[in-house]
């Protein structure tokens, strides 16, 4: 494990979370770094969208690493990249793709437990095999667990927490460095997962959900902003363009 990977892993402290304002290219990385970030993280939705591509591994792997190289050229901070489902049809292919990320200088990756375009989660043994192939490269793996995607927390919260913790234990055994549980805003469920998870927990900050401070108090170790910075930037640009093209002066 190289020093950047060790440094990045050390930033995951329950109760004192690493805050990641996800970026999509070298320019946005430079802006976030200048604001005082401790690490840089891409989000696959924004990276793909910035190139007119769709999320879900539609952005070619060679382009993923070209983008990473440009990002690394403007910052010395640890950089973690979103590799979606690992860019591999099987564990061996996942391992080969992730090994390229290590060689390119990434400190970490995000990796999902469902395949591109699929809503069903991989069976735990299948997900574990893919995570193990990734972690065997030595990189820090943020294991995304999509148990709460589209779920009814009010009705199924306890069962969803139990299912998440079952996967957390399996992913920890596979060598993952942290557990990413997106699409979860319920404080009770977040707290229960943080209390029992063998891995530090990453939560996606959501509008109307707990604040950064509240997430810290719940024991969260990492807060991501996902596609939201890119979406906000594009909404701002569209609004400003509409003003200018409609005959008004821009706000900039």
Q: In Å, what is the CA distance from 29 to each residue of 32, 215, 233?
A: 5, 24, 14
> Does residue 246 belong to any structural domain of this protein?
no
Torsion angle of C-alpha atoms 202, 151, 46, 110, degrees rounded to 10:
40
Q: What is the pLDDT of residues 181-217, one digit of tens each?
A: 999 999 999 999 999 999 999 999 999 999 999 999 9
In a domain, 8, yes or no: yes
- pLDDT, position 213: 98
**How do residues 61-119 score in pLDDT, each as one tens digit?**
999 999 999 999 999 999 999 999 999 999 999 999 999 999 999 999 999 999 999 99
DSSP 81: E
Share of the chain above pLDDT 70, in %: 100
119-143 pLDDT tens trace: 999 999 999 999 999 999 999 999 9
Tell me if residue 53 falls in helix, strand or coil. coil
**Domain count for the chain:** 1
Q: Tell me what pLDDT residue 1 has.
A: 65
Please classify residue 67 by burial: count the beta carbons closer than 10 Å to its beta carbon, then call 0-12 exposed, 13-18 middle and 19+ buried.
Answer: buried
User: In terms of residues, how long is the chain?
Assistant: 252
Residue 64: CATH number of its domain: 3.20.20.60
89 lies in some domain = yes
65 lies in which domain range? 3-227
- In a domain, residue 210? The reply is yes
Q: Is residue 98 part of a domain?
A: yes
Position 31 pLDDT exceeds 80: yes
The C-alpha angle with vertex 167 and arms to 89 and 58, in degrees rounded to 5, equals 30
- pLDDT at site 158: 96
> Whole-structure pTM over 0.85, yes or no?
yes
pLDDT at site 149: 94
pLDDT per residue as tens digits for the range 216-229: 999 999 999 999 99
Q: Is residue 213 part of a domain?
A: yes
**209 assigned to some structural domain:** yes
Is 248 a domain residue? no
């Amino acid at each position: 494990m190289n020093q950047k990977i060790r440094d990045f892993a050390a930033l995951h402290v329950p109760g004192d979370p690493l805050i990641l304002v996800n970026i999509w290219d070298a320019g946005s990385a430079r802006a976030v770094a200048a604001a005082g970030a401790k690490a840089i993280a891409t989000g696959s939705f924004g990276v793909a969208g910035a190139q007119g591509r769709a999320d879900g591994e539609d952005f070619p792997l060679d382009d993923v690493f070209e983008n990473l190289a440009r990002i690394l050229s403007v910052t010395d901070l640890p950089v973690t990249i979103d590799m979606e489902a690992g860019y591999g049809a099987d564990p061996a292919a996942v391992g080969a793709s992730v090994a390229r990320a290590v060689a390119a200088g990434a400190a970490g990756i995000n990796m999902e437990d469902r395949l591109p375009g699929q809503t069903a989660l991989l069976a735990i043994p299948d997900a574990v095999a893919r995570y193990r192939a990734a972690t065997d490269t030595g990189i820090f793996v943020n294991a995304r667990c999509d148990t709460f995607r589209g779920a009814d927390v009010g009705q199924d919260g306890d069962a969803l927490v139990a299912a998440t913790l079952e996967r957390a234990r399996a992913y920890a055994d596979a060598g993952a460095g942290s557990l990413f549980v997106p699409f979860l805003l319920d404080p009770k469920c977040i707290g229960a997962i943080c209390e029992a998870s063998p891995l530090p927990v990453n939560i996606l900050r959501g509008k109307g959900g707990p604040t950064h401070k509240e997430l810290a108090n719940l024991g969260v170790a990492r807060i991501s902003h996902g596609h939201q910075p890119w979406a906000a930037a594009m909404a701002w640009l569209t609004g400003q363009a509409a003003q200018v093209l409609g005959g008004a002066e821009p706000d900039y």
